[in-house]
Amino acid sequence: MIGNVGAVFLFEWKRSLTLPRMAWWLVLAGFPVFIVGLIRFGVDSAHPNAETDRAPRELWIGFLFALIPMLISMLGTMLWVTPAISAELERRSWVYLTVRPNGGVAVLLGKYMAAVTWVIPPALIGLLAGIILCRVSNGWQIWWALATMVCLSTPAYAAIYLFLGTVMPRRGMVLAVGYSLLFELVIGFVPALINKLTVHHHLQALLLLWCEMDIPPEFMQGAVALMGNTPEWEHLAFLLMYPPVLLTAAVAVLRASEFSSSAESDV
Amino acid sequence: MTALIDLVNITKYYGRFRALDDVSLQIHSGITGLLGPNGAGKTTLIKVLLGLVRTTSGHGRLLDFELGHQNREIRAHVGYMPEDDCYLHGMTGVECVQFVAQLSRFPAVEALRRAHEILDFCGLAQERYRTVETYSTGMRQKLRFAQAIVHDPPVLILDEPTSGLDPEERQVMLNRILVLARDHGKAVLLCTHILPDVQSISDAVVILARGRIQVADTMVELNRPTTPSVEVRLMGDSDRFVETIRGRGIAANLQSNGGILLQGIPDHLATHVWQAASACGVGVRSLTPSRNSLEEIFLSAVREGGSRD
């Protein structure tokens, strides 16, 4: 089984070394750098003679957080793993892969691993370049904190999107976009128990705990209301639980499903 | 003889559509042709065998493994060549075969060795180093065949293995299947629309129509006519010969292909044929026991299947 997953993982990596995929890799790495660079340029142009940075440190950290452990991790994994099954169904290669012992599960887990290892490097490179452009104090500490978040959020988001793509392969992308907008962006900000189910909530809590943000007391009250007083280990446990739980669920769904491509729908 | 595939009362519904209707079937070693018109249930039957779909009712066994319960074991022992032209983009032929061998639990190096060995057997020479997108139909067919047999499975399910091949390539492919069945002891389920392929290499035939088994028998039994008869071909006046032979109390019919069908036991008829030919002054070009044609059997089975509905 491990050998099968390894074979799919290597195969997917080999397949990803094409020009379009490499271009997409560069876009993932370059997008946050471009946005942060644009803001940096705007701030510097508005205050050319300022001795200190006019944009507060918390603003830069907030931008980097929203762009990298959130957006890049979400977008990269969504485009990679959501069509894990539907792409093979469309290429009609699904049947080839599933008629091997544990073939379907190997495809699922191999693609998951390939997606996670493919998305993390551009996110970390983009983060490094972004930190340099921001010129925030304690840059390395911020890089380390956000990089850890990338390593937590990418496997979690990949597991979520893989699960959604397995539950509904034909409409997986719609489901994934709907989930991201509704759950991660809306419900993640709702101060209720349900927000604990979002990756966003736990990442936000870790951001406050790890990045020594200097937040005004009136905002801090709101943040505590949103985050609660949950200890750090609980946030970490939640984020680490996503991949095993959702991958197990995806495998169970896969085993219970009868996927067929349109061409195979012949009786 | 123990059946390699044993299905008992298998029924499969897709929603309200009944794709397989109470199918009971035993398939033994050798080559078995699986025939049926479009929509007969052949693909569903194959999917049931591979555990790709669950049956609505019934049970079955493939080798020593229960269908639907031991899918992993079944897939390890079955080689499947799908009809669809599916290939893995961006890979060379040898990489494709190596990849599926790895998925069949072979280590990378052993998988590569097997891939080369099988591609040699399948006749893919230097083309194996080209990406599969550049392959012709024949090459893709060979590649699909190689992927099906790379893990040396005892049972092969081949869906339209000769479609799209030119006559020479078709014969070569059939020979390969024969070699695997005869020399390597594989059980082959050959699903095709090309009746001469089945006629030429199959040991048994299964005909499905509307989800039901219409015919399941050996080729020897199917070829045997219901009433024994011989087909005679002559050089000379056929009409006079027919009159003479009928005068001997033997039923004779002149056929559209120019042959004369005589009803009776072949050994008994031979003497009458030679005597009548001598009396009429015609030469006997051939005298062969007549056989049922697979086409007639197929058409009658399909008509029967249709009329039952």
Q: Which of B18, B65, B103 to mutate to test the interface with A (most CBs of A within 10 A)?
A: B103
Dist. CA B115–CA B123, nearest whole Å: 12
Q: Which residues of B touch A93 (CB under 8 A)?
A: 86-88
pLDDT for res B1: 62
A101 and B105 within 8 Å at the Cβ level: the answer is yes
DSSP tag of B131:
B
Distance set, CA A46 to CA A42, A53, A61, A129, B234 (Å) = 6, 11, 20, 22, 107
Distance set, CA B1 to CA B5, B6, B40, B179, B218 (Å) = 12, 12, 28, 22, 14
What's the burial of B175, exposed, middle or buried (CB within 10 Å: 0-12/13-18/19+)? exposed
Q: Which helix (H) or strand (E) holds B223?
A: helix B219-223
pLDDT in tens, chain B (309 residues): 678 899 999 999 988 888 898 999 998 889 999 998 888 888 889 989 988 888 899 999 998 899 888 888 888 899 999 887 667 777 889 999 999 898 888 888 999 999 999 999 998 888 899 988 888 888 889 999 999 999 999 999 999 898 888 888 899 999 999 999 999 889 999 998 888 888 889 999 999 988 899 888 888 888 777 777 888 888 887 888 888 888 888 888 887 777 888 887 777 788 888 888 888 888 888 888 777 778 878 888 888 766 554
- Do the domain assignments include residue A75? yes
The closest CB to that of B52, out of A98, A101, A266, belongs to A98
Q: Which two tokens mark B241?
A: 């010969």
- Mean pLDDT, chain A, whole residue set: 85
pLDDT in tens, B158-207: 998 988 888 888 999 999 999 999 998 899 999 988 888 888 899 999 99
pLDDT for res A260: 62
B76 and A101 within 8 Å at the Cβ level: the answer is yes
* ipTM score of complex: 0.76
The closest CB to that of B103, out of A92, A97, A258, belongs to A97
B235 touches chain A (CB under 8 A): no
DSSP H helical ranges for B88-159: 93-103, 108-122, 137-149
Sign of CA dihedral A57, A60, A63, A66: negative
Task: Mention every residue, 6+ apart, whose C-beta is less than 8 A from residue A148.
Answer: A206, A210
The closest CB to that of B104, out of A8, A101, A263, belongs to A101
pLDDT for res A262: 45
What's the burial of A239, exposed, middle or buried (CB within 10 Å: 0-12/13-18/19+)? buried
pLDDT in tens, A40-65: 888 878 777 766 666 677 888 888 99
Q: Which residues of B touch A3 (CB under 8 A)?
A: 102, 105, 107
Distance set, CA B97 to CA A4, A8, A18, A104, B214 (Å) = 14, 13, 21, 17, 37
Q: Which residues of B touch A111 (CB under 8 A)?
A: none
Q: Which residues of A touch B114 (CB under 8 A)?
A: none
Domain span at residue A119 reads: 2-45+56-256
B16 touches chain A (CB under 8 A): no
Q: Where in chain B are the domains?
A: 5-90+134-223, 229-289
Dist. CA A45–CA B38, nearest whole Å: 71
- Do the domain assignments include residue A202? yes
Q: What is the pTM of this model?
A: 0.79
Q: Which helix (H) or strand (E) holds A164?
A: helix A139-167
Distance from the Cα of residue A67 to its chain's centroid? 10
Question: How many alpha carbons lie under 13 Å from residue A159 in its C-beta half-sphere?
Answer: 20
- Do the domain assignments include residue A9? yes
Q: Are A178 and A40 in contact (CB under 8 A)?
A: no
Residue in chain A closest to B36 (alpha carbons) equals A267
Domain count, chain A: 1
| CATH of the domain spanning B229-289 | 3.30.70
The class (CATH top level) of B5-90+134-223 is alpha beta
Task: Mention every residue, 6+ apart, whose C-beta is less than 8 A from residue B135.
Answer: B87, B93, B127, B143
Distance set, CA B236 to CA B279, B282, B283 (Å) = 12, 5, 6
Q: Which two tokens mark A76?
A: 């990269």
pLDDT for res A263: 42
Q: Which residues of A touch B108 (CB under 8 A)?
A: 7
B17 and A8 within 8 Å at the Cβ level: the answer is no
B5-90+134-223 matches B229-289 in fold: no
Within 161-220 of B, beta carbons closer than 8 Å to A belong to 211
pLDDT for res B86: 65
Interior angle at CA B61, CA B55 and CA B64, nearest 5 = 145
Q: How many CB atoms lie within 10 A of CB B303?
A: 12
B72 touches chain A (CB under 8 A): yes
Dist. CA B82–CA B191, nearest whole Å: 10
- Do the domain assignments include residue A50? no
Model confidence at A264, pLDDT cuts 50, 70, 90, reads: very low
**Closest-CA distance of chain A to residue B83, Å:** 9
For residue A225, pLDDT over 70 is answered with no
Residue B231 β-bridge partners = B261, B288
3-state secondary structure string across A73-131: HHHHHHHHHCCHHHHHHHHCCHHHHHCCCCHHHHHHHHHHHHHHHHHHHHHHHHHHHHH
Model confidence at A265, pLDDT cuts 50, 70, 90, reads: very low
The closest CB to that of A91, out of B14, B86, B147, belongs to B86
**Closest-CA distance of chain A to residue B67, Å:** 14
* Terminal-residue alpha carbon distance, chain B: 34
Task: Mention every residue, 6+ apart, whose C-beta is less than 8 A from residue B33.
Answer: B190, B191, B192, B197, B198, B202, B204, B205, B206
**Closest-CA distance of chain B to residue A249, Å:** 19
Ranges A92-96, A144-148, B13-17, most confident: A144-148
- Do the domain assignments include residue A16? yes
Interior angle at CA B100, CA A245 and CA B104, nearest 5 = 70
pLDDT for res A137: 80
For residue A9, pLDDT over 70 is answered with yes
**Closest-CA distance of chain A to residue B125, Å:** 23
pLDDT in tens, B33-44: 999 888 888 888
- Do the domain assignments include residue A155? yes
A91 and B211 within 8 Å at the Cβ level: the answer is no
The closest CB to that of B105, out of A4, A91, A98, belongs to A4
